[in-house]
Amino acid sequence: MSAFLRTAWAVLRKDLAIERRAKEGANALGFFAILLLFLFYFALGPDRERIRTALPGLFWLAFILAGLLGLGRAFALERENDCLDGLILAPADKGAIYLGKVGGTTVLMLAMEVAFIVASGVLYNLDLWAAVPDLFLVALAGTVGFAAVGTLFAAMTARLRAREVLLPVLLLPLAVPVLLAAVKLTELALVAGPAGAAGPWWRLLLGFDVVFVVTGLLTFEFVLEA
């Protein structure tokens, strides 16, 4: 058991260490987030009400776009120097490697998401501070789900030529429940709805997370070894 967790933790730490040090590092994702904020503003016009009502959707559009990039990076770094072979040859539980990858991607995406939320409050002149704890929880649950399924397909497409197109084509329809639930829960975090409205959505989102983390743990070795 502890070897499993040690391996997962090592993979997570390794990915984050590389992100911190790589020259094209996490800065790029951060700039991307700011850029999206500007794009959304240009696309939806100076009317701040429109942006305020669209905000939950905008958050998750941004998170998904950044998530696709983050997932791609998680395996791009393994392609250099044939490190992917190194992972296969390691006498490690492949499920532990999967868990580490999901964790690393989640941490990275969460960092970007928090920055995005804060920056959107500033740039769109919205008071989001009260909602931040709830927003963080939604972001966490949604990101884990997205990363759980995404890691499987990022690993598959890493070795294909058409990887940039194939990953979203395969992943996004599967991730629709995450998008719907996360947007809904973000809405409810920003503007309190009827009592108990959030409950079913939380159950759906957490159910999604559990089902697909377990599926990933069981099937990642087949993806890696293929």
Partner 1 sequence: MIEASGLTKLYGLQPALRGVSLHVAAGEILAVLGHNGSGKTTLVRLLATLVRPTAGTARVGGHDVVTAPEAVRRAIAVVGHTTQLYDDLTAAENLAFAEALAGRRAARDRVESALARVGLDGQGRTPVRELSSGMRRRVALARAILREPRVLLLDEAFSGLDQDSTKRLEDHLHVFRAGGGAALVVTHSLGRALAVADRVTILAGGRIAGVATRAELSETALRQLYLEATETGA
Partner 2 sequence: MQRALAPLAAGLLAVGLWAGLAAAPPDAVQGQVQRIMYVHVPAILTGYAAIGLVLVASVAYLWTGRAAWDRVAAAGGELAVCFIGLTLATGSIWGKPTWGTWWTWDARLTSTAILFVIYLGYLLLRSVVDDPARAAAYAAVLGIVGALDVPIIHFSVEWWRTLHQPATVLKPQAPSIDPAMLRVLLVNVAAFLTTFAYLATRRYRLLTLRADALARALAGR
Where is 15: in which H helix or E strand?
helix 2-21
**Residue 28 binds partner 1 (CB under 8 A):** no
CA–CA dist 42, 194 (Å, integer): 33
CA–CA dist 83, 75 (Å, integer): 10
Kindly calculate the radius of gyration of the chain based on its CA atoms and give it in whole angstroms. Answer: 18
**Residue 218 binds partner 1 (CB under 8 A):** no
CA–CA dist 212, 205 (Å, integer): 11
Q: Which does 24 bind (CB under 5 to 8 A by kind): partner 1, partner 2, none?
A: none
Among 29, 64, 212, 213, binds partner 2 (CB under 8 A): 212
Site stretch for partner 1 (CB under 8 A), options 12-20, 48-56, 182-190, 197-205: 12-20
Amino acid at 143: T
Smaller CB separation from partner 2, 46 or 173: 173
Among 135, 152, 190, 213, binds partner 2 (CB under 8 A): 152
**Residue 12 binds partner 2 (CB under 8 A):** no
- Where does residue 126 fall: left (phi above 0), alpha (psi -120 to 50 degrees), or beta otherwise? beta
Overall size of the chain counted in residues? 226
- Where does residue 45 fall: left (phi above 0), alpha (psi -120 to 50 degrees), or beta otherwise? left
> How many residues interact with partner 1 (rule CB under 8 A)?
27
Residues numbered 70 to 99 that lie near partner 1 (CB under 8 A) are 77, 80-83, 85-92, 97
* Residue 217: CB minimum distance to partner 1, A: 16
> Under the rule (CB under 8 A), what is the footprint of partner 1?
3-4, 6-7, 9-11, 14, 17-18, 21-22, 77, 80-83, 85-92, 97, 225
